[in-house]
């Protein structure tokens, strides 16, 4: 309708493609997952090659990087925005489960192995790993909780948190912008969007989350990201705001 009003051309690729099923670097590379884009409930009449060609034709990408399965409980069949994201042209962050007994451990390890073999323009990716929060179950169902489901705005990062000890590590790892981030407690949806006091202290500015993340990583940094985050912690400029879901 808007195209008609403004007399703009409209293109119809004739394929199902949700926004969360792809991630791009803005320079011709696209990330996606086989469990989602090749699922028969999406485009059963299109082959992998045909899907890739439509992505190239309509999105202008050249490198298409395929991961395998998504995380447990994900009713999107494995959206890439719960798994692996670009944070620069060749740098990605990807979730990794440390608990070998968790059902997410093996598929995420397989995705990590794939990423280590991938290249853009003949050069391997720079890979940063994000932790996974502890398993969250509601009404007998596992929820697809993931720190990879963040959003980068012009001068801030919106990040889901889960009142989990690893919230701190995820915040610090993604603290590569100078301005404050907003951490959103993804567990809470209550009256007027207000959480109990015990849940409102999930993050405090330049305080506990900085110390916890440093203790977890020790003195090392991850490709310069922690150096910048630690610097911001020291000067008290890296403030995180807990915004509640409504």
Residue 18 pLDDT exceeds 70: yes
Contact 178, 143 (CB under 8 A): no
Distance of CA 180 to the CA centre of its chain: 18
For the whole model, what pTM was predicted?
0.72
- Cβ(213)–Cβ(183) under 8 Å? no
Reported for 103-108, long-range contacts at CB under 8 A and 24+ positions apart, including other chains, are: 103/72, 104/71, 104/72, 104/132, 107/68, 107/69, 107/70, 107/71, 108/71, 108/83, 108/132
Q: Would you state the pLDDT for residue 186?
A: 55
**pLDDT of residue 8 exceeding 50:** yes
Residue 206 reports pLDDT greater than 50: no
Instruction: Report how far residue 143's alpha carbon sits from residue 233's, in angstroms, rounded to the nearest whole number.
Output: 31
Q: Which residues of 180-214 are buried (b: 16+ CB within 10 A; e: fewer)?
A: bbbbbbbbbeeeeeebeeebeebbeebeebbebbb
Nearest to 147 by CA among 178, 111, 121, 183: 183
For the chain, percent of residues with pLDDT exceeding 90: 65
- Is 90 exceeded by the pLDDT of residue 237? no
Q: What is the pLDDT of residue 152?
A: 87
Residue 152 main-chain phi, psi, to 5 deg = -100, 115
Query: Could you give the CA distance from residue 240 to residue 132 in angstroms, rounded to a whole number?
Result: 20
**Mean pLDDT throughout 201-223?**
37
Sign of CA dihedral 98, 220, 112, 240: positive
pLDDT tens profile 40-95 = 999 999 999 999 999 999 999 999 999 999 999 999 999 999 999 999 999 999 99
What's the pLDDT at 205? Answer: 33
Q: How high is the pLDDT of residue 224?
A: 37
Per-residue pLDDT for 159 more than 80? yes
């Amino acid at each position: 309708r808007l195209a008609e009003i403004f007399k703009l051309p409209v293109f119809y690729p004739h394929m199902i493609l949700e926004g969360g099923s792809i991630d791009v670097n803005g320079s011709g590379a696209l990330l996606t997952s086989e469990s989602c884009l090749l699922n028969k409930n999406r485009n059963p009449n299109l082959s992998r090659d045909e899907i890739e060609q439509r992505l190239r034709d309509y999105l202008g990408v050249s490198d298409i990087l395929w991961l395998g399965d998504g995380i447990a409980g994900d009713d999107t069949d494995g959206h890439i925005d719960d798994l692996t994201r670009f944070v620069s042209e060749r740098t990605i962050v990807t979730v990794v489960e440390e608990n070998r007994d968790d059902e997410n451990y093996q598929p995420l390890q397989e995705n990590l192995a794939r990423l280590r073999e991938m290249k853009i323009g003949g050069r391997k990716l720079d890979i940063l790993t994000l932790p996974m929060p502890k398993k969250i179950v509601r009404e007998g169902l596992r929820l697809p909780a993931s720190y990879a489901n963040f959003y980068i705005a012009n001068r801030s990062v919106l990040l889901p948190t889960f009142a989990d000890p690893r919230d701190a590590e995820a915040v610090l790892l993604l603290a590569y912008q100078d301005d404050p981030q907003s951490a959103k407690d993804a567990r809470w949806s209550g009256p007027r969007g207000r959480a109990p006091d015990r849940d409102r202290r999930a993050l405090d500015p330049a305080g506990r989350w900085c110390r916890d993340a440093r203790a977890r990583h020790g003195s090392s940094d991850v490709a310069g990201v922690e150096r910048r985050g630690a610097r911001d912690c020291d000067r008290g400029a890296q403030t995180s705001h807990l915004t509640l879901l409504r």
